[in-house]
Amino acid sequence: MGGEKLQTFLLKKGEKMKYKLHIPTEQYGFVEVEFEAFSEDFVEQTYRQVVNAFKPKAGLSDKDYNSFIDRYLLGELVHTEEYAAMSTDQQKTVQIIKRSLARIKSKQEKQNE
């Protein structure tokens, strides 16, 4: 296990123990999980499930991502399935471009008035 904090004590057989996992999810972020369990196997399973839930998805390949960006900037049709397949970082970049294009369009419309 990584940078999480996990405290365990000797238990009597069949006794439940309270656990608290502190799991880093990004540079300054973490998730904290509190639960009760009978076995350390369950604790490990819970830890792995939480870690996997916060793993970034792979996203589009560079070739597919570049193609998406090119089509988007040219005003061509882009598919929501492609956007959904992007990594979080790729989606953030698309949103930055989208907002930038909206600002540019607004400025151009004001100049043409």
Domain definitions of the chain by residue range: 1-55, 62-111
Query: In a structure prediction context, what are the per-residue pLDDT tens digits for the chain, which is 113 residues long?
Result: 455 555 555 455 567 888 888 888 888 888 898 888 888 888 889 888 888 888 877 899 999 999 999 999 999 988 999 999 999 899 999 999 999 999 999 999 988 87
The Cα 35–Cα 14 span in angstroms is: 16
Residue 27: predicted pLDDT: 81
The answer to whether the CB of 48 falls within 8 A of the CB of 23 is no
